[in-house]
Amino acid sequence: MKLLFLLVFMLLFPQSKGSPSSRDDDGYQRTFEDLKREIASYSDIAKKIIDLAVYGRAQNRSYERLALFVDTVGPRLSGSKNLELAIKYMYKALRMDGLENVHLEPVKIPHWERGKESAMMVEPRNHSIAILGLGGSIATPPEGITAEVLVVASFDELHQRAQEAKGKIVVCNQPYVSYGETVQYRGRGAVEAAKVGAKASLIKTVAPFSINSPHTGMQSYQPGVRKIPTACISVEDAELMARISSRGNKIILTLKMEAKTYPDADSFNTVAEIVGSKYPEQVVLVSGHLDSWDVGQGAMDDGGGAFVSWEALSLLKDLGLRPKRTLRLVLWTGEEQGGVGAEQYYKMHKVNISNFDIVMESDEGTFTPTGLAFTGSDKARNIMKEIMKLLQPINVTGVFEKGGGTDISYWIQDGIPGASLHDDITRYFWFHHSQGDTMTVQDPTQMNLCAALWAVVSYVIADMEEKVPV
């Protein structure tokens, strides 16, 4: 009986070589070996893209475009005139580049301005402290806040010394472990200090390296907890005050901040496409964010990511390549305030979520690339590994875990495969959200390599006969 059942099963469900992947239009069960052969067939096209980006007439183009942009526009804070000018600039540039369906999609974004700000240590000696108000902070009274300082190394220590914190300026001198772990002090330092009665909070810059450079960023107040002014200070000044305090010396600071929050501003996500030849309704999305903080030039965060994403489409257009699916470039607005522009884009387009093949974002620098970070199923990851083999000519073939980004997280949470550029971020947090984020950080050769990777990966995914499996 068992033998009869086995024979019937084999007749009804014939086995194919390799792991079955999907069926084509004729009902043929495609195997993973079939997919590998299909991907390998893009080898010549990949080499043409690489040659154009790294060695050909497009060499250094993304770098030169970015330099002109940031030198012309400058930093691009959410809700600012500079961001408005940047969006107009990019709309015109994308149209001049000959891309298709260039348009702006309206959204609302936060509008906060830091105004004038200063901090002065007046005891035990006079010393000017470099500060940058944190996003969304309230102002001090016009005369400022003059108060004694309480230095703590952790939230646990702050809670243990709660009785000492009342009426003081709390300075968080937390150790840097990693950005992901340490950024909590910037994000909720003001809330934790307010809970124990502090008048203000100053947070040691979330960075592993400093040349007396404070790094700004977002923070969040909590409903029901009194709002207090909050700013970041340099690693050097935080450690200076920690040393003075450890010797039993009283520290008194005067803090002045003119920060102000305005009603939400009108803004736009900027969109351009190469329309697909066979499945135009299906989308491969590549992206970076156009906004930045109001210090430096926003060249690294995220000018580089935005401009290699633009360059990916330019390279394909230059080579006359039109993939089967639509390749869509989105330059996000309001990312630094929590991805608010991208969230509104998601809400507007999620009705068509089944048409999104993969979402990609470059937002961790455009230094020397090491591969692609990817989030998706095991089947999809295996396909990505095959695609990355096409980057062997520039020795960038790695596939890493945890692909994503603030702006594409909404899609990934809903099951759409997501990818991000994986590069050498050793120096990224040296300059992140600081006056040091300028064009000097960028390197044209590294941007060429990033653009080549971004273009090859996005083109092959958009042109394969089948979508990336979820």
Question: Catalytic positions, please?
Answer: 335
Task: List C-alpha distances in Å: 328 to 288, 312, 320, 345, 374.
Answer: 12, 10, 16, 13, 19
Tokens encoding 266: 């009108």
Segment (H or E) for 332: strand 325-332
CA distance 71 to 101: 27
Residues 6+ apart with CB under 8 A from 199: 145, 147, 167, 168, 169, 228
CA distance 408 to 105: 16
Length of the chain: 470
Q: Are 303 and 70 in contact (CB under 8 A)?
A: yes
Using alpha carbons, select from 200, 254, 204 the residue that is nearest to residue 230.
200
Question: Does the bond joining 24 to the residue before it have cis omega, within 30 degrees of 0?
Answer: no
CA distance 381 to 365: 23
Using alpha carbons, select from 9, 35, 12 the residue that is nearest to residue 22.
35
Q: Are 22 and 28 in contact (CB under 8 A)?
A: no
Scanning 247-371, the segments in alpha helix (DSSP H) are 305-318, 340-349
Q: What is the dihedral of CA 35, 36, 42, 44, to 10 degrees?
A: -160
CA distance 356 to 346: 11
Beta bridge partners of 252: 123, 148
Q: What is the dihedral of CA 325, 331, 334, 335, to 10 degrees?
A: 70
Burial tier of 401 (Cβ tally within 10 Å: 0-12, 13-18, 19+): exposed
Beta bridge partners of 222: none
CA distance 134 to 114: 8
Q: Estimate to the nearest angstrom the gap between the alpha carbon of 413 and the chain centroid.
A: 16
Specify the DSSP class assigned to residue 351: G
